[in-house]
Each structure stands twice: as structure tokens, then as C-alpha cells.
Chains A and B, each alone.
Chain A
Amino acid sequence: DQQVKQNSPSLSVQEGRISILNCDYTNSMFDYFLWYKKYPAEGPTFLISISSIKDKNEDGRFTVFLNKSAKHLSLHIVPSQPGDSAVYFCAASIGGGADGLTFGKGTHLIIQP
């Protein structure tokens, strides 16, 4: 049973436009959510996170929105740039996250020129 779901395996967006990546979760115990970015043949890198006590967190071009009632979060990238082409993983944790993260399957974002 997948507790973190990314239902779009891929997403194609034009350069300069907004990219919106979605993530749903089923475990109501999750209280911290993260987005990781992964290039081919590299390990994932941390991008942005949000605690369940917030509904929005912003860092430069990246904004994460959390809707707890819907168990849904989204990552907005504005404006999208060619270097944003990568696989994006949504992840969640309980408590301090010491016992690891639960990842979604990822969304491959392709930024078209």
C-alpha cells in the first residue's frame, strides 16, 4: 500500500512557465513533507520542505503548498528553467524523521525550450 503517491509519472512544461508537481498521501500521521530533486546517475538532493503546521513554504522559485484536509501537497516552480528538468520525489516523515522518509515514485519534469 503506497502511502505517498505521485500520480503523474511525467510532466512537460515550457521554459518560463509554471511547473506544478502534485503529491497525495494516505497516512495522517505524516507531519513533515519534503521534495527532492534527482538527476540521472546522481543521488537525490533536498529541495524544499514544509511542516504540517504550515500551509505554504517558499524558497526562491520554489513554493510548496500543503492541504492537510485533502492530504495533498504541491510543488510550484516559477519560472521553469532548463536546469529544472529532473525527477522530483515527494517524501514524508513522522516525528523527527529519524526512522527515515517514505517516498513517492517520482515525477519526471521535462522543461521544453
Chain B
Amino acid sequence: NAGVTQTPKFRVLKTGQSMTLLCAQDMNHEYMYWYRQDPGMGLRLIHYSVGEGTTAKGEVPDGYNVSRLKKQNFLLGLESAAPSQTSVYFCASSFLTGHEQYFGPGTRLTVT
């Protein structure tokens, strides 16, 4: 039982490049979330999903897209990376409510 895993762990992108961050959970959780954490800041919600095939915008969705084609996976895409998207990205999942969320180890992304 791996819990929540994130791929990749680190990535450096040039401005304008695109990439996809993958989140996978093996706990059969319904809800999945993408957060970003910047230095000195708390986690801010980017997008979330309350079930397979559904997605919704969070607090800071601009510049990101998501997809939840399978229940266990939640993908975060950056179509044209900008330096302002340099951050640590955390994926989380939860079972029946959004309260006790299980977090992945994070992806550290640098955009130059």
C-alpha cells in the first residue's frame, strides 16, 4: 500500500515549456486535490476532483489544467510554464470527506 505517490519528484522547466505532474493513490479515495506551496506560504488549492471524470477550480487555478480519467489518478498540466509557477506541488486524496487528506511527498518544480 503506497498511499499517495507523485511523479516526478523534481523538475526544471524553461519558460514556455509544458509538463504533466502525475498523482496516484491506491486507497480507493473519491476526492483528490492539487495544492501548491510557496516559501513562507501555506498550501493553496489549485484544482480538485470529487470523483472520476469530474474536476473543479480551486483558489489559484490559472495556468493549470487537470484531468481525472481514472479514479486512482489525478493529473496536473502546465501548458506554458511561467517563472511564477516555480513552487512545490502537493497532491492529496481523501475518502468520503475532504477533511483528513492524505498527501503525497511533493514535486519541486523550478521554471527558469
Chain A interface (Cβ < 8 Å from any Cβ of B): 4, 6, 9, 32, 34, 36, 41-46, 49, 89, 91, 93, 96-106
Contacts and interface: CB of A to CB of B under 8 A. Distances in A.
Interface stretch (B11-19, B41-49, B63-71, B76-84): B41-49
A41 B106 contact: yes
Nearest to A103: B42
A21 to B, nearest CB: 14
A103 B90 CA distance: 13
B101 interface: yes
A89 B35 CA distance: 14
Give chain B's interface residue range (CB within 8 Å of chain A).
20 to 34
Contacts, number: 73
Nearest to B108: A41
Contacts of B48: 98-100
B98 A97 contact: yes
A110 B40 CA distance: 16
A45, A89, A93, A100 pick with most chain B CB within 10 angstroms: A100
Which among B56, B99, B104 has the greatest number of chain A C-beta atoms within 10 A?
A: B99
Nearest to B48: A100
B103 interface: yes
B4 interface: yes
